[in-house]
Amino acid sequence: MKHSNLQIDRYKYEPKLPPQVRGAVADISVELGDPTEAIADQDALRSQFGNTYGKPIATLVGGRTNENAATQRTVGVILSGGQAPGGHNVIAGIFDALKAANPDNRLLGFLAGPGGLIDDKKMEITAEYMDEFRNTGGFDIIGSGRTKIETPEQFAAVRETCKRNSVDAVVVIGGDDSNTNAALLAEYFAANGDPVQVIGVPKTIDGDLKNEYIETSFGFDTAVKTYSELIGNIERDANSAKKYWHFIKLMGRSASHIALECALQTQPNVCIISEEVKEKRQTLNDIVASIVEIIVARAEQVENFGVVLVPEGLNEFIPEVGALIHELNDLLATDSNYFTQLRTFEDQAEWVNKNLGRNTSYVFSSLPNSIQRQLLMDRDPHGNVQVSRIETEKLLIEMVEDSLRERTAKGTYTGKFSSQHHFFGYEGRCAFPSNFDADYTYGLGYGAFLLIANGLTGYISSVRNLAKPAEEWVAGGIPLTMMMNMEQRHGSQKPVIRKALVELDEAPFRRFAAEREAWAKETSFTNPGAIQYYGPDEVCNMPTMTLQLEHGLEI
């Protein structure tokens, strides 16, 4: 395969490790704190995780011998869920630490996600193969998948796979659901007296796997910087041509962290934050009215252009649309056999309308035909609507146009409205990881092996103090059960890692809320430009504004 000049040069990049883990692997051990508790529902979790609940926080420390470091080991690794820049470097970190500990150690990559572990589809990662992927984006090294390890048969199959391949430990690189799975797997092995260790790694561009101890998930940094570059370019174009309103939908299955960070970076005229919509119980009409108000105000200044950012997950946070989606998910899950027999959209829509409640049926009928079709499309493996396929940006444009038409007829609006729509998601998931993500992921992978070498299981690899330069980062492990609570899933209470949504009382949102009025009326666009891999620290090595604000830094 032909490589670009950047790819060839990025192979030479040496990711920065947290200082305590830079020495010989045999000289790194763990310092353990006090026993921990889950964030909520402690009793239920304690009884479900009888063998792995409440472990202490682990910090990796150098200069202390680990007698077991050189024990020969086989480690399995899986990538789970959507791509996120840096996944290859997590595997490189595991590989380098494992080979440094003992050159006979083996790293098995299970293919195409958790399914590879269930079906025993794997490859051994060799030094030569690994080198092809260092510091590159993508998950193509072993592929990814969204299969969940759920049934007793699947757990037993994973156990068989590990036995057959003499796997001593499994590293699960994934989001909140996959790390919940990692916790269940760790408990399953422990409960069966199996010595297989399980360590998770926090991945997702959505940025919603974070808490006091996991400061960010990897991939968020690169993805938001990629989208912000594109938004900045569009803003410049909008301000040059002065004739279009650009509606840009941004990925993020549920939380609006991506949209919020992009807004902080690019200062658009409007950015909708789903969590605020929910908190204020705004309807679709309220959202449209607030956008229209800004368009009208800018038209009065003869500025018939602007940029609106829309988070992908918005629909589920608008009370009436969210209720519709939930009812539809349930309906289609319960009667999926009947539904899939209906051949035409018209028949499907009629059946759905008949079976929905009165209010939700009204909301469904009031949506444009194209959106109704998208709501009825295939569900994901968890039975949920695939939000990235709902064209909310187009829905908003249609509704804004209707409202402006009414205003024109009444004589309360004399501007011109021409729109463009965009969806940025896949553009950022496989970008070359920023220096931040390249370093962070390598450290997470390296740390994951060190946790294994120190005998831990049921932990998520962590690198902390990320708002500071890598010289001050601290590596360790956080017990998975500590991040969990019980939630209602498919009709019953299940242990899950709590998803981190945008908090309206925290610094990133507060900064946005303080500035947005000015950005709405004036043209205050900022253009962060493309991710830079070479050059001064303030251009190449700055973390996201979200991370800096969350850590109280002045920016």
Count of residues interacting with ligand FBP (CB under 6 A): 15
Mark 207-246 with x for binding to ligand FBP (rule: CB under 6 A) and - for no binding: ----------------------------------------
Of positions 73, 122, 253, 464, contacts ligand FBP by CB under 6 A: 253
User: Beta strands of 12-120 (E only): which ranges?
Assistant: 28-32, 58-62, 74-80, 106-110
Of positions 97, 190, 196, 251, contacts ligand FBP by CB under 6 A: 251
- Asked whether position 252 contacts ligand FBP by CB under 6 A, the answer is yes
Specify the DSSP element, H or E, that contains 462: strand 459-464
Q: How far is the CB of 223 from ligand FBP (least distance, A)?
A: 8
- Asked whether position 175 contacts ligand FBP by CB under 6 A, the answer is yes
Binding part of the chain for ligand FBP, among 35-43, 76-84, 121-129, 294-302 by CB under 6 A, reads: 76-84
Structure-token pair, residue 20: 């305590």
- Asked whether position 206 contacts ligand FBP by CB under 6 A, the answer is yes
Q: How far is the CB of 381 from ligand FBP (least distance, A)?
A: 9
> 94 and 159 in contact (C-beta within 8 Å)?
no
Active-site residue flag, 206: yes
- Distance, in Å, from the CA atom of 86 to the CA atom of 98, rounded to the nearest integer, reads 18
Of positions 312, 327, 391, 550, contacts ligand FBP by CB under 6 A: 312
Q: Which is nearer to ligand FBP, 94 or 497 (CB)?
A: 497
Q: How far is the CB of 82 from ligand FBP (least distance, A)?
A: 3
Q: For strand 484-489 and strand 492-497, is the pairing parallel, antiparallel, or unpaired?
A: antiparallel
423-452 positions binding ligand FBP, by CB under 6 A? 429
Mark 357-386 with x for binding to ligand FBP (rule: CB under 6 A) and - for no binding: -----------------------------x
- Distance, in Å, from the CA atom of 192 to the CA atom of 189, rounded to the nearest integer, reads 5
Compute the radius of gyration of the chain from its Cα atoms.
24
- Asked whether position 112 contacts ligand FBP by CB under 6 A, the answer is no
Query: Whose CA is closest to 248, among 452, 123, 428?
Result: 428
- Distance, in Å, from the CA atom of 95 to the CA atom of 126, rounded to the nearest integer, reads 9
- Distance, in Å, from the CA atom of 33 to the CA atom of 31, rounded to the nearest integer, reads 7
- Asked whether position 262 contacts ligand FBP by CB under 6 A, the answer is no
Characterise 10 by phi-psi region: left (phi > 0), alpha (psi -120 to 50), beta (else).
Answer: alpha
Q: What is the DSSP string of 80-97?
A: ESS--TTHHHHHHHHHHH
Q: Which is nearer to ligand FBP, 134 or 253 (CB)?
A: 253
Under DSSP, is residue 399 helix (H, G, I), strand (E, B) or coil?
helix
Q: How far is the CB of 85 from ligand FBP (least distance, A)?
A: 11
Rounding to the nearest 10 degrees, give the CA dihedral for residues 261, 265, 269, 271. Answer: -10
Q: How far is the CB of 259 from ligand FBP (least distance, A)?
A: 11
Query: Whose CA is closest to 68, among 26, 99, 20?
Result: 26
Query: Whose CA is closest to 457, among 195, 130, 166?
Result: 195
Q: Which is nearer to ligand FBP, 207 or 306 (CB)?
A: 207
> 243 and 418 in contact (C-beta within 8 Å)?
yes
Of positions 79, 183, 201, 205, contacts ligand FBP by CB under 6 A: 205
Q: How far is the CB of 353 from ligand FBP (least distance, A)?
A: 27
Mark 78-97 with x for binding to ligand FBP (rule: CB under 6 A) and - for no binding: ---xx-x-------------
Phi, psi of 130 (to 5 degrees): -60, -45
- Distance, in Å, from the CA atom of 384 to the CA atom of 316, rounded to the nearest integer, reads 11
Q: How far is the CB of 524 from ligand FBP (least distance, A)?
A: 27
Q: Contact residues for ligand FBP (CB under 6 A)?
A: 81-82, 84, 175, 204-206, 251-253, 312, 386-388, 429
Which sequence positions are flagged as catalytic? 206
